[in-house]
Amino acid sequence: MSNHPNDQTYPMAMAYPAEAYAQSSDTACSTLLRMALLGGVIGGSAAAAANLQRSRDGELRAGQALVATARTAAIAAAATATAGAVAGAVAEQGLLRLALMFAVGTGVVYGLDQWGRVPLENGDV
């Protein structure tokens, strides 16, 4: 046995591939959750400002403004997380990643917005 400071004594902790995968997927999940939270906060803040003005102008009641703001925040969170996941899987950095995030985010917001519309009796949306 040597007295070298870099020598390790047994028992040594072994890293198994499953543990390394679990750690990397936990990091990816937490990154997506942080992205979703950030997207929800930014989207919700923008919606709150717009809905506050609409409420002051008499277009929305306070409860309607709150529901519309929460809906927009949830859609923004979903769009941000989805766009981040797709862009992260395809490109590491650069304009391609930014373009993918923009395109996927736009598609998710548009799709969720269209899906959530309720037709009125006269056929208007």
Higher pLDDT, 75 or 122: 75
The 8-class DSSP code of residue 121 comes to: T
Cα–Cα distance list, 65 to 42, 76, 103, 113 (Å): 16, 16, 28, 16
Among 15-29, 47-61, 67-81, the minimum mean pLDDT is found in: 15-29
> What pLDDT score does 125 carry?
44
What would the pLDDT profile of 104-125 be if each residue is shown by its tens digit? 999 999 999 888 776 655 544 4
Q: For 38, what's the count of Cα atoms within 13 Å in the CB-facing half-sphere?
A: 11
Indicate the domain borders of the chain: 23-115
**Cis omega before residue 11 (within 30°)?**
yes
Q: Which amino acid is at 27?
A: T
How many angstroms separate the first and last alpha carbons of the chain? 79
Per-residue pLDDT for 96 more than 60? yes
Contacts of 85 by beta carbon, 8 Å cutoff, 6+ apart? 32
Global pTM reads: 0.70
Per-residue pLDDT for 73 more than 60? yes
> What pLDDT score does 24 carry?
56
